[in-house]
Structure 1
Amino acid sequence: MPLLLILGPPAVGKMTVGRAIADRSDFRLFHNHHSIEMLLDVFDYGTPPFRTLNSEVRRRVVEEAAASGTDLVFTFVMGMDEQAEADYLERLASPYGDDVAVVELVADLDTRLVRNRTEHRLAEKKSKRDLEWSDNNVRELEAGYRMTSDARSDGPGERLLARWPHLVIDNSDLSADETAEQVLAWLVTHE
């Protein structure tokens, strides 16, 4: 699958697992904070220019990756009940046509709060370095959004994910390397 979407709530390990997959394969990693962090130097998060440019940068990177035949890992936090987010992700993935697979990572809140403070995360995501704010953000998103799929739901997220091969991994007790190995083994069965 040339486009591998790694979805899940904040601090579940999307970027770290994506990096482990890229290190073991031909995939290249484009994690969601690649665009976020560069824009925060100029625009405040969520402002109209930030949203416009964040969307545009991501779209262009995915388009060029698809056009050049690059196998790409992209990470994303998706509100499963949010139609706009499902529509956005569908548009973003469209340059890859049907060559898309989704890995959804899940872990409990306590595990994610520990991971929210890891050296690797803080090195890659300077916007997360205010730990009090970042921990509160993880908690608020957990309380306000459904960021994991539910087989019993027919929400916008579930309808979109049903279009593509979809693997859910609880990586609470797995290292990024172990999770990456599971993902790569699964991808072989979906070639």
Structure 2
Amino acid sequence: MLTMKDVVREGHPSLRKQAKEVAIPPTKEEIALLKSMQTFLSNSQDEELVEKYDLRPGVGLAAPQLGVEKRMIAVLLTDDKDRLYDYGLFNPKIVSHSVEKSYLPSGEGCLSVDREVPGIVPRYARITVKAINSDLEPVKLRLRGLPAIVFQHEIDHLNGVMFYDHINEDDPFAIPENAVEVDR
């Protein structure tokens, strides 16, 4: 079972590297790791398990956050319409995005960052992601709102980008032009 001890923190080299594509079909170990990442997110959202195993609640996890430089992410959240997004993905790629931006007014956090980083993180309001899911089927997801933000955050990890790299250094709370505020 993955715990917070498995999550690498700021400064770890895998967080700043370009992750490698996963060969399809993936190995048994890669499939097992992706399923463990999904289980970690599920466990991290269960109050009893959070307490028992000292977990931090999370809605997304990328393999580089475990020191594994492979293009794999897991996401678990519900949107504002109570739609569940429960995905383990190999080689996710943003294939299109809106011009319009969005942001979380409270900023973003990260399981690999043990400090608060205040500021607005501009994201695309809508994205389309293509990937291979944990059942080894191709998927195409059209995302908006919180799911779009979470997927962009996780895919950034695959490219060695941290959420705070997007914050305007001169004015951290500058709201991007024509941006939509997204509720958690």
Q: Same fold (TM over 0.5)?
A: no
Richer in helix (by share): 1
Richer in strand (by share): 2
User: TM-score, normalising length from structure 1?
Assistant: 0.26
**Larger RCO, structures 1/2 (Cα 8 Å, 6+ apart):** 1
